[in-house]
């Protein structure tokens, strides 16, 4: 199994989610916030 660091995850952009207009209420616990119309996923 490959060990991935938090720095590598952030550098690759995995924390960027969907556009804010594509809202799914089930994802609310996992959303850190929004920036420029894109949700930021809480890693």
Whole-angstrom CA distances from 43 to 5, 14, 30, 34 are 11, 9, 8, 14
For residue 14, being part of any structural domain is answered with: yes
Instruction: Determine the pLDDT at residue 8.
Output: 85
- Give me the number of domains the chain comprises: 1
For residue 32, being part of any structural domain is answered with: yes
Instruction: Determine the pLDDT at residue 29.
Output: 93
For residue 1, being part of any structural domain is answered with: no
For residue 36, being part of any structural domain is answered with: yes
Res. 2: pLDDT tops 90: no
Instruction: Determine the pLDDT at residue 22.
Output: 81
For residue 34, being part of any structural domain is answered with: yes
6-43 pLDDT tens trace: 888 788 888 788 888 888 899 899 989 888 888 888 88
Give the structural domain span for 34.
Answer: 6-41
Instruction: Determine the pLDDT at residue 9.
Output: 79
For residue 19, being part of any structural domain is answered with: yes
């Amino acid at each position: 199994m490959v060990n991935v660091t938090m720095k590598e995850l952030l550098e690759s952009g995995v924390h960027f989610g969907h556009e804010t207009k594509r809202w799914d209420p089930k994802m609310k616990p996992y959303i850190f916030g929004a920036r420029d119309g894109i949700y930021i996923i809480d890693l």
